[in-house]
Amino acid sequence: MMIKRLTLVTVAVVVATMLILMLSAHAGGQSNPAQAKQALAQKYEYCVVTDVNRTPSSVQGVEGPLTATIVYFTDEGEKRESIEVPGGKNYDSLAKTFSKLGQDGWELVFEGAESLGARSYTNTFYFKRPKG
């Protein structure tokens, strides 16, 4: 009888300890109201990479440079920047553009194809980063 009672008490203590640990871990993982409000108030800025192609050369038989256009969306409107890779291979301009944006804190959030008309598409890459 004494052993059964001791076993039940031990099991009860272990269960209670586990419950306390689980509740404290759960409460510790939640942010306080100020942190939650700050997370909701986070502002972002956005840009898009488009027009990834080879620019025509003025010299016949010579390929032009690879280019990509970054369009930054600002409160004042849009700002465009062209990235050019002279004599580059396919996707060199895209690699250079993505590298530049990554170094500047931009994060790729979406990629899609944009229609340019009948049977013509261009890939479009959307980025964001926290403002400030």
DSSP calls for 1-64: -HHHHHHHHHHHHHHHHHHHHHHHHHHHHSPPHHHHHHHHH--EEEEEEEEEEEPPPSSTTS--
Higher pLDDT, 123 or 10: 123
pTM summary value: 0.60
Give me the pLDDT at residue 9, please. 43
Percent share of the chain, pLDDT over 70: 56
46: closest CA among 73, 14, 16? 73
In a domain, 35, yes or no: no
Q: What is the mean pLDDT of the chain?
A: 74
Q: Looking at the structure, tell me whether residues 54 and 90 fall in a common domain.
A: yes
The answer to whether residue 81 scores a pLDDT higher than 90 is: yes
Domain span at 110: 41-130
The residues that bridge with 74 in the sheet, in sequence order, are 77
Other CB atoms within 10 A of residue 108 CB: 13
Is there a single domain that holds both residue 53 and residue 93? yes
